[in-house]
Amino acid sequence: MTNDELPISLSASDVAGPIRMRRNRRHDWSRRLVQENRLSVNDLIWPIFVRDGDNQSEAIASMPGVFRYSVDQAVKQVQRAARLGIPAVALFPYTDPALRDETGSEALNSNNLICKACRAVKAVVQDVGIITDVALDPYTSHGHDGLLEGDEIVNDASVEMLVRQALNQAAAGADVIAPSDMMDGRVGAIRHGLDQNGYQHVQIMAYSAKYASAFYGPFRDAVGSSGTLKGDKRTYQMDPANSDEALREAELDIAEGADMLMVKPGMPYLDIARRLKDTFQMPTYAYQVSGEFAMIEAAAANGWIDREKAILESLLAFKRAGCDGILTYFAAEVAELIGQ
């Protein structure tokens, strides 16, 4: 048996039929072979909410499946993260309203919830990084990230508070300081403060491009600032209309000593993540924020989308946009799904 009879042509001009993009998609093995981006457990950062008390896990109505944990329970969740291979967690406090004041002074208390949580976690888990948020909103009676004078969020006095807050967290064992306040000059001031006080090794993940977004609603419920917030954050967080401005913010943060950049929210700002990655080649992260989480959960609860597929697709989108990792409330569940 020979194949002498098969029609072939040696003329280059008529070899190519229509280009068939579907050939590579025909088989599962082939799809796997040509896949450009992959989500791995190493890409996940898990935000965890902490409250006071003992043996408590309190549901958050607008974030189904997410809880505020007392420190002992939060430690268990971080142990779970360690077992799953999740590289880092981000801790956020729900501060007792009685402890909130004009200046957010509880942020500087070396025995506040975040510090207690950092110490408790460090005592038993060593191989998960702890990221702590630097901003005053969980501690202020007005719910703003900085100090309020009249109706202005004053910059430089706020930065001074934020440096002290960062030092307080570093002393409690935080590995990564994540300023989310959007005050000018805070990354440099925090870097300087850390270096001066023996915390040269503590990293800074800058919320470089943090937008004044409508997608933070459920988070503000979770940390109890939705009721307290007076006005909005548009004089410090970025205008969702802007993109070049994000590059300037990131450039400043890099110059001031940021080790990693973050974009927030995530999905509506994938273009920003891509621009930052292409421009600076820095470790770049996105925060799939509470409102994005809630949208997926709400649609899934209505049976309108396939929950697991939507979650995985949403996270893969961040990889495609150039992100090195994603802060996501789905982290533990996804780590279980995709394994190590």
Q: How many residues in the chain?
A: 340
Residue 239 per-residue DSSP state:
P
Could you tell me whether strands 88-93 and 129-134 are parallel, antiparallel, or unpaired per DSSP bridges?
Answer: parallel
Closest distance to ligand PBG from the beta carbon of 45 (Å): 12
* Nearest residue to ligand PBG, by Cβ distance, number only: 219
| Residue number with CB closer to ligand PBG (31 or 234) | 234
Burial class of residue 12 (count of CB atoms within 10 Å of its CB; 0-12, 13-18, 19+):
exposed
Residue at 117: amino acid letter: A
Closest distance to ligand PBG from the beta carbon of 145 (Å): 5
Closest distance to ligand PBG from the beta carbon of 269 (Å): 13
| Residue number with CB closer to ligand PBG (71 or 136) | 136
Q: Catalytic: which of 116, 210, 277, 319? A: 210
CA-closest candidate to residue 89, choices 126, 132, 50: 132
| Residue number with CB closer to ligand PBG (105 or 228) | 228
Burial class of residue 331 (count of CB atoms within 10 Å of its CB; 0-12, 13-18, 19+):
buried
> Per DSSP, what are the bridge partners of residue 132?
91, 177
Residues 6+ apart with CB under 8 A from 249: 208, 209, 238
Active site includes 264? Answer: yes
Active site includes 210? Answer: yes
Structure tokens at 24: 């590579």
Q: Catalytic: which of 233, 264, 277, 319? A: 264
Closest distance to ligand PBG from the beta carbon of 20 (Å): 43
| Residue number with CB closer to ligand PBG (220 or 275) | 220
Q: Which residues bind ligand PBG (CB under 6 A)?
A: 133, 135, 137, 145, 180, 216, 219-220, 289-290
Alpha-carbon span 229 to 224, nearest angstrom: 9
Catalytic annotation, residues: 210, 264
